Amino acid sequence: MSVEKDRISKKQLAFFTIQTAIGEGALTVPFSVHSEASIDGWISMLLAGFATHLAIIMIWTICRKYPMMTMIEFLPKVAGKFAGHLISVLYIIYFIGIASVILMNYCRIINAWIFPTTPKWVIMTLMMVTSYYLAKEKLKIIARFETLVSILLIVIILLIFLPFSKGNPLYIFPIGQSGVGNMMKGMREAVITLAGFELLLMVYPQVKGKDREILKTMLISYTFVILFYVLIILSCFMFFSPMELKIIPEPVLYMLKAFSFRIVERSDLLFLSLWVVIVMTSIVNYVFLASTGITQILKIENSSKVTLLVVVVCLLLALLPHNFLFMSKLNKWFSYFALFMIYLIPIPLLLLSILRGRRKAAE
């Protein structure tokens, strides 16, 4: 049970959710959805958003049955002691894995665009040291910080709007030409980018407000995230031709590189300078979720040492030797793991929680 003074408001939950969901994937999502769904990739993102909303409702339905417990505490009651602890460990591995993958992908982009001669370990270490100082704090402090830095999203959105003035709307027509099958394949790529709502399993008891208010906050937050990604995808699809998009892995940065101002020569570097904060908050949140899970499952009082351990593990995993081909394979493999953890596992958990509730009612 969480202490009342340490609980966060619904507004703070909204910004915590947005900062978790919006990460380095925004730089590459236009390329990934276009590779499967062609110019209908933005439709795939909308379909993925619908699936994500259903998954949020499903997870919320489970959490509302145990409002004062985190996932670590209620899973043994729902799935049994052994299965519950096993699923908890899988989620902790997932949290650590996704933080490491985000770090690896962002470091690759930073190396390619800003610091090509700087060793990767330097960039990664600086990112994780900074992340540790925030992740070791309580949820309320983290949420306050992320509410403050969310103002950067306004600047980022304004930068994304720039290409519309020089874009060609005809590039996205005719709508639906890729076919339903390809749009569904693009949807698979899009749902991975929308990962983050699973945080509700860990922070639900630390949020002030009624159950329906928490659900409403999550749905509104993710509606913003989905529209944000659709905006990015459409801006890239209208700026580049379909043939160009096939060969541009980071279309957002190439697109912004074409714009300059009197005081800013390269808007892509301005974008990356702001984006590093957004990516850091995403890593912080996953490190926090992982360390909270480990602290609860092992019943450890000093959570800062656990957070430090998680940060070191993430850093070591990200520092493993890899190249672009390995990263592509890793991203693909981890995307399937993420789909399993955040979209498939909640289904049997929901069914089990309903059955448990009926048995108690019958008794």
CB atoms within 10 A of CB 313: 16
Q: For residue 314, what is the enclosing H or E element?
A: helix 303-318
User: What Rg, from alpha-carbon coordinates, does the chain have?
Assistant: 20
> What span, in angstroms and rounded, lies between the C-alpha atoms of 281 and 3?
24
195 contacts: CB under 8 Å, gap ≥ 6: 21, 98, 338, 342
- Partners of 8 in beta bridges: 207
- Partners of 207 in beta bridges: 8
Length of the chain: 363
* Residues 325, 327, 330, 334, CA torsion sign: negative
In this predicted structure, what is the pLDDT of residue 1?
45
- In order along its 363 residues, the chain shows pLDDT tens digits of 455 677 899 999 999 999 999 987 888 899 999 999 899 999 999 999 999 999 999 999 999 999 999 999 999 988 889 999 999 999 999 999 999 999 998 898 898 888 889 999 999 999 999 999 999 999 999 999 999 999 999 988 988 888 888 888 888 888 888 888 899 888 888 888 899 999 999 999 999 989 999 999 999 999 999 999 999 999 999 999 889 988 888 899 888 888 877 777 778 888 888 898 999 999 999 999 999 999 999 988 878 899 999 999 999 999 987 777 777 788 788 888 888 999 999 999 999 888 876 555 445
C-alpha dist (Å) from residue 330 to 31, 104, 310, 355:
17, 10, 20, 37
In this predicted structure, what is the pLDDT of residue 174?
87
273 contacts: CB under 8 Å, gap ≥ 6: none
C-alpha dist (Å) from residue 309 to 94, 211, 315:
16, 34, 10
> What span, in angstroms and rounded, lies between the C-alpha atoms of 269 and 253?
8
C-beta of residue 289 within 8 angstroms of C-beta of residue 202: yes
In this predicted structure, what is the pLDDT of residue 4?
67
In this predicted structure, what is the pLDDT of residue 24?
78
Buried b / exposed e over 139-171, threshold 16 CB at 10 Å, is bbebbbbbbeebebbeebeebbebbeeebeeeb
298 contacts: CB under 8 Å, gap ≥ 6: none
In this predicted structure, what is the pLDDT of residue 261?
72
| Per-residue tokens: 242 | 């379909």
**Between 139-149 and 120-135, two packed helices, what is the crossing angle to 10 degrees?**
120
> What span, in angstroms and rounded, lies between the C-alpha atoms of 112 and 16?
29
> What span, in angstroms and rounded, lies between the C-alpha atoms of 234 and 160?
10
Backbone angles phi, psi at 207, to 5 degrees: -110, 130
pTM, whole model, 2 decimals?
A: 0.93
